[in-house]
Chains A and B, each alone.
Chain A
Amino acid sequence: MNLKRILLLLLFFSMVSLQAQQDLTGTITDESGQPLPGVNVLVKGTATGAVADFDGNYAIKAPEGAILEFSYLGFVTKSVPVGTATTINVVLQEDVSQLDEVVVIGYGTSTKKDLVSSVASVKSDVLENQPVARVDQALQGRATGVEVTSNNGTPGTGATIRIRGNSSINGNNDPLYVIDGFIAGTGFNLNTINVNDIASIEILKDATALSIYGTRGASGVILITTKNGKGMAPGKPVIAVNHYYSLQETANRINILDGQDFIDYKNESYQFVPGPDGFGFTDTSLPLVFDPENTTTTDWLDVVEQPGAISNTDVSITGNSENANYFISGNYFNQKGLLRGSGLERVNFRTNLDIRVSDRFKTGIRANMTHYKIENNKVNYGNIVSSVLPIRPVYLEDGSFSFENPISAGLERNPEADIQHRVDHDLVTQLITNAYVDYKITKNLSFKSTFGAQLNYVKQNNYLPGILPERVTGGYGRINTNFTKSILNENTLNYDLDLDDHSLKVLGGFTWQKDNNESTFAEADNFPNDVVSFNNLALGDSETATVGSGYGQRTLTSFLGRINYGYKSKYLLTLVGRYDGSSVFETGNKYAFFPSIGAAWNVDEEAFMVDSDVINRFKIRGSYGIVGEQGVAAYNSIATYANTATVFNGSLVNGVLVGQVPSSGLTWETTKQLDLGLELGFLNNRISFEADYYKKTTEDLLLAVALSGQVGANSTTQLQNLGSVQNKGFELGLNTINVQNDNFTWESNLSISSNNSEILELDDQEFISLQSTGNQGGNSARLIVGEALPTFVGARYLGTYKTAEEIISDGREGRSFIGGPRYEDVNGDTNINDEDFQVLGSPIPDFYGGFRNTFTYKNLSLDVFFHGSYGAEIWNVRTQTAYYGRGEQNVDPIVLQRWIAGVNETSDIPRAGPSNSLFNVNSDLNIEDGSYLRLKTMTLNYDIPMEAKGLGNVFSAMNVYVTGTNLLLFSDFTLGDPEVNNFTAGSGLGSVSQGFASGQYPYAKTITVGVKVEF
């Protein structure tokens, strides 16, 4: 479309010139510079034509101002106006829709047709112009087998991505990010990539695709490829300016209890006594703790929330000349968060450059520089929801900030004061660059060497000023800095051989990578005033000042190889292997080999099907292989002494203690994966379908095995290779063009994925505890052999006790009360504890997916995208603490439905009563259905016809768009948004502990208006 406009623009300018026949010649090549023989050249509107010769050269006569049309099967037809030049060289672009999509894979590319492995590909059109700072948030529901769960709505906060489930427990479950060939690690900071710079994202899922990444591939790999000028019309560059503005408000706001309801509940709870018969009694003779006639209510959510906004501007220049193509862009992104005081401001510059030095020698660079500032949340949203009391005023009568909990009189932070005065932000600067040289040694053999670096500097500034009401000893300042450096050198040889029926591609390479980080922190307390803040920590009290620093390093060397063999494009075979050596393992265990094999059969190429009008694509593929995971911390096999401190006579002195228990003989986790795939295309791909089944078994799981207490270690666990876990699942993708005519097109795109995980073995342990939710309740998520990863456990809630007889029959006289909770006593010992815990559910959905519909009418298009998840369960941490929570915290509005003597005696919501460990046991009372369907985005786009508006001489293209995000949500979940988790990024048990909702930073409902202009 855009190209056409450029041409029209050129045409417009050329109108003034005289019309006279000229001799025109030129060469026609494809994007890689190969000459294209047999291209048809036509002078538009006439019968004059020519055909390019074997070297792609053509000759034709045409008047100045005429238009030459170049057409060739499998390539996009191109029109070029005739100017004064007599030589017109043309680069034709492959027609992806007609031929085959090119898919980026590790260390290369492949056509979709030749691909043996399972790779999901997401193109820029679905990523662009979503009002998000990070691309992970835009990926949700777009690719099969990729489960994207937003963590919370904080600006700059990532989503958690799980590719085909969790395959590790203590190790890493985050995918590996590879940015334009640079292996950027699993913890890559996606805030540093401008979403609109991305050309495509490929997600590698099966063993054949992953084993080329060896020890880092087991959790999947995400390849991000940024734009370049390749395929552009040569000559005039395209300057594009894109701007959007978004307005945001809190979606699915959480309800909190108001002051009156809170006081009524608390007064009732304080009047609870066992009573004369011991079965529970509300003793109204006891004094009321709160005056029920005199309550104030503060809606703390109102205090801390604000409408959010995002402003985003991109400017890019894309160009292509004979020997070079380039993409240069700048981006400014500014988000005001939904919580006052939170936000993100970013500038980003990218330079992508490819140069053809000679026919044999190519070089180029990808460089991206980002600097951003995150204003962190000054208040904890979960605290506002569950902790800060509604009966507490924002300001005292004298106008100063309130500073204490009205129940405990303990000093407590004031959210309003925090928002106004607290300093807490991160400054992040990142440079990521990858340069290459590519030398064609012979016709079939080429050598490529890349050298890349990622430099990351983070500074975190914190200051709690003395003006904050709880800071009785003056201000407190802290700064942290962290500098990380990653250097990667990769050297590969490529051998390509195409004989008549046989094609062979061989890749071999050697790489090394070194990552290190250096950190420092300093803090000081008791600042006499708030003038200098964190900028001069020396003004704090020197006795309270502390400093620290750290260093970490890990290195990796690898040999890699891949052989692709094809016979007549019908039968495809791929062999892949990577031999990795890693510093984090002990000598003797440093190296491991990860091989895989894949094969595919393009049935549609067989004689019996090649002429079919109905089926145009029919491919069966399968792969099997081993991939590794090295998600262990560096230095885990080294015994250390850890530093600590103690006090003598009020002075702090340093000390040391025996540190970690070193691991012994640790090795990689290995994942064996089988993948079977089917790809079908009907009616010239108007209907295309892709399905995958996979089974992954991960062995030698890294487990933090608990050590008995008598070992006396500072860490209570030691890493060992034990246990195994299995993930099985299917993925379905269906694309249909439902209507296609001159004016109107309707396309649908459905993706559905399902993953079932099961723990096969955990050493000798029955289960591993993951997470505790209550202050007294024990662990509520476990890893249990034979169950999903992870699994909720707790007591089975049976409702409230309605009669004394029920209590007596349960043997719980004096310990349970009428109107109080009743749990199933599995072992009949009358105690309700861990031993009565049962499996109650899992936060893993049965299936999830996305459904996209695109409607195009002339220049108008509408894109509607739904995302949903079915069958996950959520642990509502807030209701768990609501019933018998700490007396100093707020409770959930569900208590309004509580059992009340003589008023609501049929209720199964427990009565107001004392905090009690018996009451606070983990139970399914707190488990809710987390299924949801969300209208994730809806975009209306209008391509303004420039010529028709008479603007063709100024702009080559212009479109305006309106996008709504998170517009509708269908869900039964009671605590705000059901898309919750509390994954902790990286490794450790946190990476599988998920599905706990405690009221996180809310998600936004967003309306975005944007305009994109090309010159």
Chain B
Amino acid sequence: MKTKLTSKFLILLLSFLVLSSCDKFLEEDLRDEITPDAFFTNDKEAELAVNGVYRLYHNNNLYGQRGLDNYYTSGADIQAASRNVNNAIHNYLIQEGTADGNGTWIQLYRVINNTTEFISNIEGNENLSEDAINQRLGELLFLRALAYYHLTNLWGDVPFYTEQLPVPERSVLGRSPKAEIRSAMKADLARAFDLLPASYSGSNLGRASKWAAATLKAKYHLFDEEWALAKAECDIVIDQSPHRLLDNYADVFDQSDPSNQYNDEHIFVIDFEADLVGELSTTRTDDYNPRIRDEPAGRNNDTIVDGVSGSKVSIFQGLLRDRNEDMTGFGWSVPLPEFALRENWQEGDLRYDATIVSEYLGWKLSFPYFRKNWNLDQENSLRSNHPENYIVFRLADVYLMAAEAENELNGPGSAYAYVNRVRERAFEPDQPWAGMSQDQFREAMFDERRFELSAEGHRRMDLIRWGILLERVQSVQHRAWNNPGTNIQPYHVLLPIPQNQLELNPNLLESDPSNNGYR
């Protein structure tokens, strides 16, 4: 009887003990992740948040691979693939659901959501020093303005928010007018300019400086044809910044030493590094690198070099390997025939050889390539694992923008000085511009920007803002497998809101049921 009572008592006791602690027992115990309510308590944390946003720009849908290049570099009059690949882009088969930029859209809104969340947490945060608040706010404002720049360039009107909205609200926003978005971003950039430092060094190289903010603001104004404002921003960069044009055009793009990729002309770059996991190395270079399958010309023909006989490809590849080089790329981005021909460039343009390569080590190549963007080095720049930075803004572009804005504003008179600064190093002997009408200057600029800035992510937006995209795409010669001229339509100056996004948020069709003309 005693044991019976004891055991009954024990059962009761046990049950009570467990019951009373049940709710506590069932609490979630999260130990290995940071939660927002315990963050932004010191300057270091603010820095971590900003660093995360830079990471987003490395994504393959933006600067990492050909995400933005698909819409900024391809589909214009300079380059296309060496075969029938990526043909939705190269043949203007863009439609809802096909090459509609869905991944780029998603990634840009990641930037917007993260910057917005972080800005609201940093602004006025008493745990942070004033310096930290200024620096981090400046960077975040710039990074967000860069995202809206791309969104409004590619789609025009887009959903717009700069405050933290709850998920259910954020997910159903319709499109806001492009002008409203851009004017807010210009104001943000003015603020960023005031907050950001003038220069960085060491392990901060790669962060946005005030000159990056000014250059982006200049672009906003230029695209909106606010010539005076554009010119003013360009002048600030040209006159006040430590950036300068390098003496030698080819040096601007020389990234062969991975530990020394920055130079004075770079205003803002996305910094890639080989051997790092995720998207921190780039595959963009592979698009510019040849495939050995294509090279050299007549590759299977036998030949004899220095007494060694064999197929051309085997001897050529042997020579490359002796230099620790190889052709391991994709060949997805090669110059179109017209652009690759020397006679289509102005006589004496030194930029040609820095830009185009059609012969290598004395061997004729099947295709021309962009020398400024390729890298055959098999030690530091391997296939799918390249360290080359994406040069987003550089000073020569700012000079040309200033020239263009000044010409639109006051005619060529004061504009020559800007363009001729760029042409100075491009020609030996100098071939400065002079004596042009405003129209002549404008049209000459169409070509000048092509030769100076090819394959740098400017061309297609330039053609669009000048209103000559259709005409140029239809008139330029394409290779046999591409025929974009017959497919391109006036509405192709914008992308359709991606099909996937329309499915998830039908409100995106409210303000424009035609979806930028695609329906």
CB neighbours of B49 from chain A (8 A): 641, 655-657
Which of A290, A551, A710, A915 is within 8 Å of B84, CB to CB? A915
Do the beta carbons of A472 and B203 come within 8 Å of each other? no
B95-A831 in contact (CB<8A)? yes
Q: Which of the 9-residue segments B292-300, B419-427, B451-459 touches chain A?
A: B292-300
Are A640 and B35 neighbours in the complex by a CB distance under 8 Å? yes
Q: Does any Cβ of B come within 8 Å of A950's Cβ? A: no
In the complex, which of the residues B83, B272, B293, B498 has the most CB atoms of chain A within 10 Å of its own CB atom?
B293
Q: Is A948 positioned at the interface, with any CB of B under 8 Å from its CB?
A: no
Partner pick for B204 among A441, A648, A707, A714, CB 8 A cutoff:
A648
Decide if A647 touches B34 in the complex (CB within 8 Å): no
- Tell me whether A649 and B504 are in contact (CB under 8 A): no
Q: Given the known inter-chain contacts A289-B293, A583-B27, A711-B109, please indicate yes or no for A635 contacting B504, CB distance below 8 A.
A: no
Are A649's CB and B206's CB within 8 A? yes
Q: Which of A631-650 contact B (CB under 8 A)?
A: 634-635, 637-650
Point out the residue from B31, B95, B328, B505 that lies within 8 Å of A409, measured CB to CB.
B328
Q: B383 at interface (Cβ–Cβ under 8 A)? A: yes
Q: Does B87 contact A (CB under 8 A)?
A: yes
Beyond A441-B7, A525-B275, A709-B500, whether A552 also contacts B203 by CB under 8 A is no
Contact at B159–A710, with CB atoms within 8 Å? yes
Q: Is the CB of B501 within 8 A of A655?
A: no
B97 within 8 A of A: yes
The reply on A195 being an interface residue by CB < 8 A is no
Give Cα A74 to B85, complex, Å: 78
Q: Report yes or no: A646 in contact with B113, Cβ–Cβ below 8 A.
A: no
On whether A707 and B504 interact (CB within 8 A), knowing A644-B52, A655-B50, A718-B167, the answer reads yes
Question: Which chain A residues in 494-549 approach chain B with CB under 8 Å?
Answer: 510, 512, 514, 525-526, 544, 546, 549
B481 within 8 A of A: yes
Given A439-B7, A914-B84, A287-B51 contact (CB < 8 Å): no
With A706-B504, A916-B87 known as contacts, the answer to whether A712 contacts B33 (CB < 8 A) is: no
Q: Number of contact residues on B: which range applies?
A: 35 or more
Verify if B474 is at the interface (C-beta below 8 Å from A). no
Partner of B292, one of A408, A637, A648, A650: A408
| Min CB gap A890→B, angstroms | 15
Nearest residue (CB) in A for B280 is: A647
Q: Compute how far the CA of A407 lies from the CA of B330 in the bound complex, rounded to whole angstroms.
A: 11
Q: Is A291 part of the contact surface with B, judged by Cβ < 8 Å? A: yes
Identify B34's interface contact among A550, A643, A834, CB under 8 A: A643
CB distance A650 to B259 under 8 Å? Answer: yes
Using Cβ atoms and an 8 Å threshold, which residues of chain B touch A408? 291-293, 328, 330, 383
Residue contact B383 to A411, C-beta cutoff 8 Å: yes
Whether A635 and B271, one on each chain, are in contact in the complex, defined by CB atoms closer than 8 angstroms, is no
Q: A472-B382, A707-B504 are contacts. A409–B171 as well, Cβ < 8 Å?
A: no
Quick check: B275 and A656 within 8 Å, CB to CB? no
CA distance A643 to B25 in the complex (A): 28
Q: How long is the Cα–Cα vector from A641 to B384 in the complex, in angstroms?
A: 29
Question: Which one of A510, A654, A711 contacts B51 once the chains associate, using CB atoms below 8 Å?
Answer: A654
Contact of A712 among B26, B58, B170 (CB under 8 A): B170
B193 interface hit (Cβ, 8 Å) = no
With contacts A291-B300, A544-B275, A641-B33 taken as known, whether A655 is within 8 angstroms of B481 at the C-beta atoms is no
Q: How far is the CA of A491 from the CA of B16 in the complex (A)?
A: 13
Q: Is A59 an interface residue when CB atoms closer than 8 A count as contact?
A: no
Whether B22 contacts A557 by the Cβ 8 Å rule is yes
- Whether A713 contacts B113 by the Cβ 8 Å rule is yes
Q: How far is the CA of A657 from the CA of B11 in the complex (A)?
A: 49
Question: Which A residues touch B7, using CB under 8 A?
Answer: 439, 441, 447
Asked if B218 lies at the interface with its beta carbon under 8 angstroms from chain A, I say: no
- Most-contacted residue by chain A among B28, B158, B330 (CB, 10 A): B28
CB pair A658–B114 under 8 Å, yes or no, is yes
Interface residue A493 (Cβ < 8 Å from any Cβ of B): yes
Is B262 interfacial (CB-CB < 8 Å)? yes
Are A712 and B109 neighbours in the complex by a CB distance under 8 Å? yes
A47 beta carbon closer than 8 Å to chain B: no
Whether B364 is near chain A, meaning CB under 8 Å from some CB there, is no
Question: Does A646 lie within 8 Å of B258, measured CB to CB?
Answer: no
A359 to chain B, nearest CB (A): 12
Contact with A along B193-209 (1 / 0, CB 8 A): 00000000011111100
Tell whether, in the assembled complex, residue B280 and residue A472 are in contact, meaning their CB atoms are under 8 Å apart: no
Within the complex, the shortest CB–CB distance from A69 to chain B, in Å, comes to 41
> Which B residues lie within 8 Å of A655 (CB)?
48-55
Known A-B contacts A658-B117, A710-B171, A718-B167; A441 and B51 likewise in contact (beta carbons under 8 Å)? no
Cβ of A835 < 8 Å from any Cβ of B? Answer: yes
Bound Cα distance A550, B15 (Å):
33
Bound together, the chains give a CA A643 to CA B87 distance in angstroms of 37
**B254 within 8 A of partner (CB):** no
Interface centre among A439, A582, A650, by most chain B C-beta atoms within 10 angstroms, is A650
Chain A neighbourhood of B298, CB < 8 A: 287
B4 at the interface (CB under 8 A from A): yes
Residues of A within 8 A of B338 (CB): none
The answer to whether B106 has its CB under 8 Å from any CB of chain A is yes
Residues of A contacting B299 with CB < 8 Å? 287, 289
> By the criterion CB–CB under 8 Å, are B505 and A635 in contact?
no
CB distance A649 to B203 under 8 Å? yes
Q: Which of B60-116 contact A (CB under 8 A)?
A: 83-85, 87-88, 95, 97-98, 102, 105-106, 109-114, 116
A808 to chain B, nearest CB (A): 16
Given contacts A647-B276, A648-B207, contact A708 B504 (CB under 8 A): yes
Neighbour of A814 across the interface among B18, B203, B378, B483, CB < 8 A: B483
Contact between A657 and B56, CB atoms less than 8 A apart: yes
Residues of A within 8 A of B464 (CB): none
Interface contact B32-A646, CB-CB below 8 Å: no
Nearest Cβ distance between residue B402 and chain A, in whole angstroms?
A: 28
C-alpha gap A522/B227 in the complex (Å) = 55
C-alpha spacing A656/B45, complex, angstroms: 9
Structural contact, B18 and A557, CB atoms closer than 8 A: yes
Minimal Cβ-Cβ distance residue in A for B116: A712
User: B300 contacts which chain A residues (CB < 8 A)?
Assistant: 287-291
B58 to A, closest residue via Cβ? A646
* Cβ B52 vs Cβ A914 within 8 A: no
Task: Determine if B97 and A835 form an interchain contact, defined as CB atoms under 8 angstroms apart.
Answer: yes
Q: How far is the CA of A644 from the CA of B26 in the complex (A)?
A: 30
Contact A441 B4 (CB under 8 A): yes
A584 and B481 CA atoms in complex are apart in Å by: 55
* Chain B positions 1-26 with a Cβ under 8 Å from a chain A Cβ: 3-4, 7-8, 11, 14-15, 18-19, 22, 25-26
B273 and A656 form a contact (CB under 8 A): no
- List A431-450 residues whose CB lies under 8 Å from chain B: 439, 441-442, 447
The residue from B39, B293, B501 contacting A710, defined by CB atoms under 8 A apart: B501
CB of A360 to closest CB in B, whole Å: 8
- Pairwise interchain contact B273-A650, C-beta atoms closer than 8 A: yes
21 A-B pairs (CB sep. < 8 Å): A273-B480, A289-B300, A408-B292, A408-B330, A409-B291, A410-B328, A439-B3, A473-B275, A510-B14, A635-B33, A645-B276, A646-B52, A647-B280, A648-B205, A652-B280, A655-B48, A656-B48, A708-B505, A710-B173, A712-B114, A914-B481
A contact set with B: CB distance below 8 Å: 273-274, 287-291, 360, 404, 407-411, 439, 441-442, 447, 472-473, 491, 493, 510, 512, 514, 525-526, 544, 546, 549-553, 555-557, 581-584, 590, 634-635, 637-659, 661, 706-714, 716, 718, 814, 831, 833-835, 887, 914-917
Q: Residues on B close to A: CB < 8 A?
A: 3-4, 7-8, 11, 14-15, 18-19, 22, 25-36, 39, 45, 48-56, 58, 83-85, 87-88, 95, 97-98, 102, 105-106, 109-114, 116-117, 158-159, 167, 170-173, 202-207, 258-259, 261-262, 271-273, 275-278, 280, 291-293, 298-301, 311, 317, 326-328, 330, 378-379, 382-384, 387, 480-481, 483, 498, 500-501, 504-505
Give 8 closest A-B pairs by Cβ, nearest first: A712-B113, A655-B51, A655-B52, A409-B292, A649-B205, A708-B504, A709-B106, A657-B52
**Given contacts A512-B25, A635-B30, A713-B167, could you give 5 more A-B pairs where the C-beta distance is less than 8 Å?**
A408-B291, A493-B11, A656-B51, A710-B112, A711-B171
